[in-house]
Homo-oligomer: A and B are copies of this chain.
Amino acid sequence: MSIVVVGSVAFDGLKTPYGVREKVLGGAATYFSLSASYFTEVRVVGVVGDDFLPEHEAVMNKRGVDTRGIQRANGKTFFWKGEYGENVNEAKTLQTDLNVFATFQPQLPAEYLNSEYLFLANIDPVLQTKVRDSMPGVKLVGGDTMNYWIKDHRENLGKMLKRVDMLLINDTEAKMLGEDNSLPRAARKVLNLGPKALVIKHGEYGATIFFRDGEFAGGHHPFRAPALPLEEVRDPTGAGDSFAGGFMGYIASQGEVTRTVLKHAMFYGSVMGSFSVECFGTERLQSLTREEIDERFLIFRELTHLD
């Protein structure tokens, strides 16, 4: 099985209580790809500028990620600079230079079109819908979005929501999208907009998946995966995208999308998020082993299971 991911490939400038990095490889599609690469074949679609060097692409290729869908454009690669204070749950954006990403028009290589899984990372919902439509035979589509699209591009987002099977967003986004301050009520309202399942990421408190009634043949109760209580979160950047990569990657590796698969996917998503934040940028995601991942899976189990 293989999964296509469409989204940002970027450079990040990072400042956390643990240090500073001027310019490291980042972007939602990058974190997602590296994370998912431990579970399934990954094909990435994005755009980069002249400053994106072979050594950067090699980071993905070393993990077996197919980068033929990364377009080259004249100009600089998307750059984001952010700072985290004592509260690692909140990033303060210091600089956002969209650069070549501003005019990104995703183009899927013909070789990608037989993929059965698709993840639409956070980009303009019009583009997300377009990509979705270009893969009519896809088995399962996951998507992400953010405040900006929820606030000012609601109509376009609404069309996209009818075309994805699962939406992965955080608490604030869910409350904004569902227009309700109660998370469970907001979840129900978001599910009424289209997706069959909604994963809400709670940061250090883990994540919850809510199911639309009757979907994935199971009870009507949601399922919650914990986050690892980590004493040292060196860089929270990309935690959500790493979660999405583990979540979607695991699903793609299973062949069928049952409730049991989705529950395990929630755990693998949390596991990958917990690795991601241990080091700056994508460093930790570059050199994991499947053994380390499965060992941590067992810790997550111990964290939550009665026996």
Contact = CB atoms under 8 A, between A and B. Distances in A.
Interface of A: 86-88, 181-185, 187-188, 202, 204-206, 208, 210, 219, 221-226, 229-233, 260, 263-264, 267, 299, 301-307
Nearest to A306: B263
A185 B301 contact: no
Given A202-B205, A229-B184, A303 B267 contact: no
A188 B232 CA distance: 13
Contacts of A260: 306-307
Question: Which interface residue of A210, A231, A260, A306 has the most chain B CB atoms within 10 A?
Answer: A306
Given A202-B205, A205-B206, A206-B205, A231 B184 contact: yes
A184 B86 contact: no
A69 B299 CA distance: 44
10 contacts: A182-B233, A184-B230, A184-B231, A185-B231, A221-B303, A222-B229, A223-B303, A224-B304, A267-B306, A305-B305
A138 to B, nearest CB: 27
A181 B89 CA distance: 11
A229 to B, nearest CB: 4
Contact of A86 (B181, B188, B205): B181
Contact of A302 (B87, B208, B219, B304): B219
Contact of A229 (B181, B183, B233): B183
B221 A181 contact: no
Contacts of A226: 224, 304
Contact of A304 (B87, B182, B304): B304
A87 B230 CA distance: 27
A304 B223 contact: yes
A297 to B, nearest CB: 10
A264 B302 CA distance: 13
A233 B305 CA distance: 26
Nearest to A86: B181
Contacts of A304: 223-226, 304-305
Contact of A221 (B204, B219, B232, B299): B299
A222 to B, nearest CB: 6
Contacts of A184: 229-231
Contacts of A307: 260
Nearest to A210: B229
A187 B204 CA distance: 14
Contacts of A225: 304
Contacts of A88: 182
Contacts of A188: 231
